[in-house]
Amino acid sequence: MGRFQRYELDFGQMAIFMRLDRIALCDFIVETYRIRAGIMFRQPPLSAVGNIFAMPFENDVWISVVILIVFTTLIFILELLFYPFRHDMDYWDCAIFVWGAICQQGFYVNIANRSGRIVVFTTFVATLFLFTSFSANIVALLQSPSKSIQTLGDLTQSPLEIGVQDTVYNKIYFNESTDPVTKLLYHKKIASKGESVYMRPIMGMEKMRTGLFAYQVELQAGYQIISDTFNEPEKCGLKDLEAFQLPIIAIPTRKNFPYKELFRRQLRWQREIGLMNREERKWFPQKPKCEGGVGGFISVGISECRYALLMFAFGIILSILVLCVELMIRNSILHITEIHYQL
């Protein structure tokens, strides 16, 4: 800007951002291209934002499953009550049988009568269909991205870390932003991390490809890296959000430049006849399309299995508590019996 003020330069060879503080120092001939910058990320998998073990069925299906368990257990109990011959099982075995059938487990009791075998057969067939549908949905959900992040507010509350392309204007426009959502995002996930959040595009896009990471980058540069390095399934679930809009870039000239109108007419003529649009489509990469679907190999980690592990831990704790209660009851009975004999 100083060289324009001192009349050492007549016009700039490259376009620059058209900012208010620059308009007082130089003139702008015509806008050229639109540079877009945004926070690019892959939607987190469903397993990272919710319990995928509850997602395969709708609520009415889960209610139907509970009704099926209760109804089958009652039918089995009634069969035990009214069958004239004795079964080698008690009433608790009925509930264990139904729950085991839901989990595709066998039954340890040999049912001799035909009515009981019909109950066992129909229960196993019904639960087989349920188990197959549940398992197929789990596999699909493991490979499906979520749609949990749609706004900057969602991104602020998400578990994604954020990196920023190491450019001067990113630091300036984040600090100058007056949008409360953008300011909250900046102070919570960028400013608090220090200089470590600023990185080169190659590094930032690689972290975005391999983990729960979002990256503020010039979208055209990001699209090019995605086209070069991402697999087809990895292109699915991509999303970008603009934290701020960059100003239009335009060619600057010094004040009172005599050929300003000539430059302006020629550059506008190039835009009107489509030359600029053609060059923009030629040199600026477009957003890659998801053409391979969401298929491919998906490794299952602890995060995907955390609810199953929590259920397992809950069962262990509950069994220990029940064992303690049983031991207390047993000791109490023994103590009462000893007192009774002493009397």
Q: What is the mean pLDDT of each run of 10 residues along the chain (343 residues)?
A: 73 78 80 84 79 82 88 84 71 82 79 79 88 84 78 86 88 85 88 86 89 88 88 81 83 82 84 82 80 61 79 92 92 82 69
The answer to the question of residue 212 being in a domain is yes
Question: Same structural domain for residues 174 and 232?
Answer: yes
Domain final residue, candidates 92, 109, 143: 143
72 and 25 inside one domain: no
Question: Are residue 268 and residue 226 in the same domain, yes or no?
Answer: no
Looking at the structure, tell me whether residues 20 and 134 fall in a common domain: no
**What does the pLDDT read at residue 85?**
67
Domain of 256, CATH number, reads 3.40.190.10
* 40 and 160 fall within a common domain: yes
Is residue 221 domain-resident?
yes
Quick one: pLDDT at residue 297?
A: 61
Residues 40 and 164 in one domain: yes
Q: Report how far residue 294's alpha carbon sits from residue 144's, in angstroms, rounded to the nearest whole number.
A: 6
> What are the C-alpha distances in Å from 123 to residues 59, 70, 90, 108?
21, 12, 18, 15
Domain span including residue 28: 1-34+249-282
Q: From CA 124, how far away is CA 23, in angstroms rounded?
A: 78
Say what the pLDDT of residue 118 is.
85
Its pTM stands at 0.67
Domain tally for the chain? 4
Q: 235 with 221, same domain?
A: yes
209 & 231 share domain: yes
- Which pLDDT score is estimated for 83? 72
How far apart CA 270 and CA 263 sit, in angstroms, is 11
Which of 81, 114, 143 marks a domain boundary?
Answer: 143
> What three-state secondary structure class fits 39?
strand
Check whether residue 189 and residue 218 sit in a common domain. yes
Conformational region of residue 180, where left means phi above 0, alpha means psi within -120 to 50, and beta covers everything else: alpha
Which of 118, 143, 168 corresponds to the end of one domain?
143
Instruction: Please report whether residue 105 resides in a domain.
Output: yes
* pLDDT (0 to 100) of residue 48: 72
Does 261 reside within a domain?
yes
| Gap between the Cα atoms of 211 and 233, Å rounded | 15
Residue 343's pLDDT is 62
Q: What is the DSSP letter of 145?
A: B
pLDDT at position 193 is 83
Provide the CB-side half-sphere exposure for 265 (13 A, CA).
Answer: 4
